[in-house]
């Protein structure tokens, strides 16, 4: 079980962020395409606020990755949403290598203008250069490895990209910058921070694990009541039957119910909320509760 939401975290203090921005801008000059990986479960919250400015003039692709964990209906809505905004869009599950066939088509479509320009100039076999970018934990390395077909992409998070730029060939006329560009998430909006913490993408020190899990359960009760009932047997009836005292909240009562189901009790029978919260977050992140999207267009 992983109840450490910050395992892929970078502390984005301003100096770090500036350095990453400069490196990103340098790298962006070298490529034709900006392939932005987002988490399909929260595509807006997992986007970087400055990417549109940094990638101005480049062919744009949005990869809704981890689509296997997201709600199918929301996946369709997000695909239309980004298509309408002029992006080429792919839905992928990089972990299981699904949806990858569409990636090449989307990238070539995004590079259409460049390819036409090159053709007019008589450049044959012109090569399209692309850069993979995204905030930590959206699956950049997994995506590169899956598309390239062997484990050539470096894993681990570094700000921006490394100095000595290397390219990986992907098929005949496509090249990826070997190291993905790590972007910083939106910090200002607490709601965004909360969603990224649910996903395990940031370590929000302000949010206590128990609070995070309780709030996630409350959100699931509103948006996915059937899944909550199936996984934890929680509905309004169960909630009203659960012990209610003047201090208890729906969040704590839901955690109580789950703790008793899972035997998360300390010595003396006291409820181990931390352990229970870890189970809930882990169940959610691994898709065991079901396919859930945290936001819809």
| Residue with smaller CB distance to ligand G4P, 69 or 213 | 69
HSE (side-chain half, CA atoms, 13 Å) at 145: 13
| Residue with smaller CB distance to ligand G4P, 74 or 255 | 74
Q: Is 75 in the site for ligand G4P (CB under 6 A)?
A: no
Candidates 142, 179, 209, 251: give the one binding ligand G4P (CB under 6 A): 142
Candidates 17, 44, 49, 95: give the one binding ligand G4P (CB under 6 A): 95
244: left (phi over 0), alpha (psi -120 to 50) or beta: beta
Q: How far is the CB of 124 from ligand G4P (least distance, A)?
A: 35
Of the candidate spans 25-33, 66-74, 161-169, 256-264, the one that interacts with ligand G4P by CB under 6 A turns out to be 66-74
Q: How far is the CB of 115 from ligand G4P (least distance, A)?
A: 28
Candidates 24, 31, 61, 69: give the one binding ligand G4P (CB under 6 A): 69
| Residue nearest ligand G4P, Cβ-based | 139
Q: Is 137 in the site for ligand G4P (CB under 6 A)?
A: yes
Instruction: Compute the CA torsion angle 228, 230, 231, 233 (nearest 10 deg).
Output: 80
The answer to whether 95 touches 82, Cβ cutoff 8 Å, is no
Of the candidate spans 89-97, 107-115, 183-191, 265-273, the one that interacts with ligand G4P by CB under 6 A turns out to be 89-97
The answer to whether 54 touches 27, Cβ cutoff 8 Å, is no
| Residue with smaller CB distance to ligand G4P, 5 or 214 | 5
CA distance 92 to 65: 5
Q: Is 118 in the site for ligand G4P (CB under 6 A)?
A: no
Candidates 141, 179, 209, 252: give the one binding ligand G4P (CB under 6 A): 141
CA distance 56 to 87: 12
Exposure string of 123-132, with b = 16+ CB inside 10 Å and e = fewer, is: eeeeebebbb
Candidates 59, 139, 160, 181: give the one binding ligand G4P (CB under 6 A): 139
**DSSP states of 204-272 as a string?**
-TTS-HHHHHHHHHHHHHHH-HHHHHHHH--SHHHHHHS---TT--HHHHHHHHHHHHHT-B-TTS-B-
Handedness of CA 15, 6, 82, 98 (dihedral sign): positive
Q: Is 91 in the site for ligand G4P (CB under 6 A)?
A: no
Which residues in this chain contact ligand G4P in the complex, by CB under 6 A? 8, 65-66, 68-69, 92-95, 134, 136-142, 155, 157
């Amino acid at each position: 079980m992983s109840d450490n939401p910050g395992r892929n975290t970078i502390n984005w203090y301003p100096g770090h962020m500036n350095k990453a921005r400069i490196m990103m801008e340098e790298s962006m000059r070298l490529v034709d395409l900006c392939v932005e990986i987002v988490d399909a479960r929260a595509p807006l919250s997992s986007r970087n606020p400055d990417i549109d400015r940094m990638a101005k003039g480049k062919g744009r692709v949005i990869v809704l990755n981890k689509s296997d964990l997201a709600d199918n209906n929301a996946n369709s809505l997000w695909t239309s949403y980004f298509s309408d905004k002029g992006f080429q869009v792919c839905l992928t599950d990089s972990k299981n290598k699904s949806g990858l066939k569409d990636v090449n088509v989307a990238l070539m479509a995004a590079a259409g203008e460049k390819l036409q320009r090159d053709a007019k100039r008589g450049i044959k076999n012109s090569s399209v250069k692309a850069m993979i970018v995204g905030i930590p934990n959206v699956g950049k390395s997994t995506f590169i490895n899956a598309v390239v077909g062997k484990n050539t992409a470096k894993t681990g998070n570094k700000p921006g990209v490394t100095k000595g730029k290397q390219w990986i060939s992907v098929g005949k006329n496509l090249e990826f910058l070997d190291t993905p560009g790590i972007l910083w998430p939106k910090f200002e909006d607490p709601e965004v921070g909360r969603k990224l913490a649910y996903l395990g993408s940031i370590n929000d020190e302000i949010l206590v694990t128990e609070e995070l899990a309780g709030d996630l359960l409350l959100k699931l009760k509103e948006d996915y009541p059937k899944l909550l009932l199936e996984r934890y047997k929680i509905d309004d009836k169960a909630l009203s039957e659960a012990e209610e005292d003047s201090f208890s909240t729906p969040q704590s009562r839901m955690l109580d119910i789950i703790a008793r189901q899972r035997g998360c009790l300390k010595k003396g029978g006291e409820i181990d909320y931390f352990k229970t919260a870890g189970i809930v977050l882990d169940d959610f992140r691994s898709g065991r509760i079901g396919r859930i999207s945290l936001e819809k267009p």
